[in-house]
Amino acid sequence: MELRRRGGVPAALRYACQQPLVSRMSTEISTARPSRRRAAIGVFDSGVGGLTVLRALTEALPDEDFVYLGDTARLPYGTKSANSIRRYALQAAAALQARGVKCLVVACNTASAVALDALVDEFAPVPVVGVLQPGAAAACRTTRTGRIVVIATESTARGGAYQRAIHYELPSADVTTRACPLFVALAEEGWTDGPIAEAIAHRYVDDLFPSEPPESAPDTLVLGCTHFPVLAPMLGRVLGPRVAIVDSAATTAAALAGVLDAHDLRRPQGSGPGRLALLATDGAERFARVGGTFLGRPVDAGQVEIVDLGAYVAGARSSIASPAAP
């Protein structure tokens, strides 16, 4: 769970020091009415990669309703400026907030690294959960040697958020980060295996994981983009069994469950199977075709609602929850 801590601590470092804030925020919404507990959880990403996180969330919290928004018209976020990423993230969150969600999950490492502060400030007291810190914490629990490699988008790698988060948990860690933008394209196209994918993987990671001497090589790879889990089987073959691959989806699901409990927002058990609404900003057919790979089950294009995020004002608390005037 990533929540903003007062005093300027970077967003990626908040997981270990957020409990006082959870308590303060809980006093504002701990008396949630039953109808609030039954509200949906909003999840957004720059495209379909966040469906890997959504898959873990729905498996861990089967009673909850979810609304997923993929900003497919503006993907990928990873090549955009920090200002653009913050603006896009605020607009996506505003569109979800307008639908009455009780919690926001930022299922995008780039947005978690760049826009989490702005999202928490804008939507308080609604809890905001990111994916970056759970992944960093999982890497620190997994590594035996303290040598960790993070592969991510250009923006996430350039910002250094993963290094800060890992060093907060494990100060002695040796962290190397590499931008792998072509992995996003491979995942979006469904080219998750085969000679092309493997050749690109070798080009990106071979020099980061030298075979000799093995004791000096990293032993943990963090998938620092929600598009990358669909490439994990191929990466596992390229790297071999001595390298553990860390995906933040499962740990994000655990963090979300903790947030819901802390704020008394968990839907009553036995409420029946949760419902899922899928939103995109462009290309319902493509979203459905590619999204099934990430979600792990078929997606019908008729289930995907197209929304216009340009109708939402970013960064103005008084108006962000409703469409802007024409």
Largest CA distance in the chain: 63
Could you give the percent of the chain with pLDDT greater than 90? 72
The CB-side HSE value for 323 (13 A sphere, CA atoms) comes to: 8
Output the pLDDT for position 59. Answer: 95
Name the nearest CA neighbour of 231 among 172, 282, 190. Answer: 190
**DSSP assignment letter at 79:** G
Catalytic choice (17, 103, 108, 180): 108
Name the nearest CA neighbour of 135 among 258, 17, 5, 252. Answer: 252
> Tokens 């928004």 map to which residue?
69
Coil/strand/helix, residue 148: strand
Residue 60, token pair as written in the block = 């861990």
Output the pLDDT for position 139. Answer: 96
Residue 52, token pair as written in the block = 């890997």
Output the pLDDT for position 188. Answer: 83
Residue 159 to residues 50, 149, 239, Cα–Cα distance (Å): 20, 15, 26
Residue 26 to residue 221: CA distance in whole angstroms: 35
**DSSP assignment letter at 5:** P
Residue 213 to residue 200: CA distance in whole angstroms: 24
End-to-end CA distance of the chain: 37
C-alpha 68, offset from chain centre? 12
Strand boundaries in 157-275, DSSP class E: 174-179, 220-224, 244-246
Catalytic choice (103, 140, 180, 225): 225
| 17 given a catalytic annotation | no
Output the pLDDT for position 36. Answer: 87
Residue 126 to residues 64, 129, 244, Cα–Cα distance (Å): 16, 10, 35
Tell me how long the chain is. 326
| Mean pLDDT confidence for 134-145 | 95
Phi and psi, residue 42, nearest 5°:
-90, 135
| 225 given a catalytic annotation | yes
Q: Is the pLDDT of residue 13 over 90?
A: no
pLDDT tens digits, 51-81: 999 999 999 999 999 999 999 999 889 889 9
On whether the CB atoms of residues 176 and 163 are closer than 8 A, the answer is no
| Rg of the chain (C-alpha set) | 19
Output the pLDDT for position 315. Answer: 59
Output the pLDDT for position 146. Answer: 95
Round the average pLDDT of the chain to a whole number and report it: 86
Q: Is the pLDDT of residue 247 over 50?
A: yes
| Mean pLDDT confidence for 230-240 | 95
Helix (H) or strand (E) holding 18: none
Residue 266 to residue 268: CA distance in whole angstroms: 6
Residue 82 to residue 222: CA distance in whole angstroms: 22
Under the banding of pLDDT at 50, 70 and 90, the label for residue 206 is very high
Residue 14, token pair as written in the block = 């908040």
Domains of the chain: 11-130+250-311 (3.40.50.1860), 133-248 (3.40.50.1860)
Output the pLDDT for position 214. Answer: 67
Phi and psi, residue 145, nearest 5°:
-100, -15
Q: Lowest mean pLDDT of 19-23, 46-50, 120-124, name the range.
A: 19-23
Name the nearest CA neighbour of 253 among 54, 85, 114. Answer: 54
Output the pLDDT for position 33. Answer: 56
